[in-house]
Chains A and B, each alone.
Chain A
Amino acid sequence: MSWLPWSSSTEKSSKATDGGRIAPDRSSRQRCWEGRDAFFGCLDKHSIIDSIKEDKEARRQCGQEIAEFESSCARAWVKYFKEKRVMEYNRDKTIERIKKEDSEKVAELKAQGWTPK
């Protein structure tokens, strides 16, 4: 995968002639997202949420997927997506919990004779 613009072996070619750093284009982004989805699909199968804390387990269970993911995305992106997965999991959990508490509260109030407007 050395032809990817951000992989270390081709560091020079990722430089723009005016000193900037060429960004991933649409197809490289797509490739990265596909690698990510495959890796996360594998994590789902093995019930791993945080692949940073459980790095060893993730690599043992999804060795091929993580290799593919890390080679097709920039390092910062890999870290970002791993963290985002945890964040989204916690967010969804929280929303679920609030909804549950909400419906329990409503049921409790209804039992006391309160009717929603």
Chain B
Amino acid sequence: MASSTRFVSRIAGQTARFPPLAVPRCAVSRPLSVRPRSVVSSSQSNLRCRPSNAPPFSSPRCFSTTGSLSRSKTMGQLRARHSNGPFSWKAALLFVLTGAGMIVYFRFEKARLERKRIAEMSKGVGRPKVGGPFVLKDLDGKEFTAEDLKGKYSFVYFGFTHCPDICPDELDKMAAIIDKVKEETKDENIFLPVFITCDPVRDTPEVLREYLREFHPGIIGLTGTYEQVKHVCKMYRVYFSTPQNVKPDEDYLVDHSIYFYLMDPEGDFVECIGRQDTPESATKVIMEHINDWKRDGKPLDTK
């Protein structure tokens, strides 16, 4: 907003510079109206006769059809007009407000179209596709597929429970985002946070449940076989380095991408939220997309 106020003050600066330029143009464009003509006569009489100070009989050659009262009124208006130009403060205010309104509107529209472009980037043909069909299982052992993500905005994160420092930080952030989005959508239940493990050998449903419970009860934990997890990582372009033939009691780390993926209700990728985002900035991005979706009147599953 700081930049738009700067804009407004720049326009205000321009209006202040307008009057001296606009005066002659206005006088020329209105030669037939009454006031400019009386302007000419009164200014001439003013120069030659000084009628207000001199007694009436001492200036017989001075002839004017306008009375001194109405003339002085015109003079007052003329002076005001001359010093301010054709723009009264009301006109200036209107001009500034209209300008500011247009700027705000154009900026808003530009930002909206930019988001729309980002959101639709993954919808066209030949675009890099993030996401897609997968089969995993949830913490109750039930099958969970990409279809189950549809209808709501989903927020997908890949990680593993034995992650030393980055994932716990990111999951705390995820918890904060969930609460913020929930607050802003007024409990509409249109936001689905999902955690997919990259380390299915160690991260069984029981382990995941215990782990995620500490961050946020609303996070849906997903796991699967090694092949299933490898496949979903590939679909989401997540770097996958989990060793295959390890035993659960072996001690190892898994390298993986550390992005959150925002997916729209049709299951298409919208945007990444990364390490640099705060819960506030992430929530802002998410809410902008949700509100755009609503404004377009597209369906959302609130169940």
Contact = CB atoms under 8 A, between A and B. Distances in A.
Interface of A: 6, 11, 14-26, 29, 32-33, 73-77, 80-81
Nearest to B252: A76
Contacts of B249: 11, 14-15, 21
3 shortest A-B CB distances, which residue pairs? A20-B204, A23-B161, A20-B207
21 contacts: A6-B251, A11-B249, A16-B204, A16-B206, A16-B210, A18-B206, A20-B202, A20-B208, A21-B162, A23-B161, A23-B162, A23-B207, A24-B162, A26-B168, A29-B165, A29-B168, A32-B164, A76-B162, A77-B253, A80-B164, A80-B253
Contacts of B168: 26, 29
B274 interface: no
Given A22-B210, A75-B251, 12 more contacts: A16-B204, A16-B206, A16-B210, A18-B204, A18-B206, A23-B202, A23-B210, A25-B211, A26-B214, A29-B165, A33-B165, A76-B164
A12 B152 CA distance: 41
B297 to A, nearest CB: 43
Interface of B: 161-162, 164-165, 168, 201-208, 210-211, 214, 248-249, 251-253
Contacts of A74: 162, 251
Contacts of A17: 206
Nearest to A29: B168
A75 B162 CA distance: 11
A21 B206 CA distance: 9
Nearest to A26: B214
B165 A25 contact: no
A33 B165 CA distance: 9
A111 B202 CA distance: 61
Nearest to B208: A20
A75 B250 CA distance: 10
Contact of B253 (A15, A25, A76): A76
Contacts of B202: 20-21, 23
A14 to B, nearest CB: 7
A15 B203 CA distance: 11
A84 to B, nearest CB: 8
A22 B168 CA distance: 15
A23 B204 CA distance: 11
A75 B248 CA distance: 15
Given A16-B204, A19-B248, A77 B161 contact: no
B4 to A, nearest CB: 23
A75 B249 CA distance: 12
A22 B210 CA distance: 8
A40 to B, nearest CB: 13
Nearest to A32: B164
Chain A CB within 10 A, most for which of B161, B162, B164, B207:
B164
B251 A20 contact: no
A81 B248 contact: no
Nearest to A74: B251
B248 A21 contact: yes
Given A18-B204, A33-B165, A25 B210 contact: yes
A15 B165 CA distance: 22
B171 to A, nearest CB: 10
A43 to B, nearest CB: 17
Contacts of B210: 16, 22-23, 25
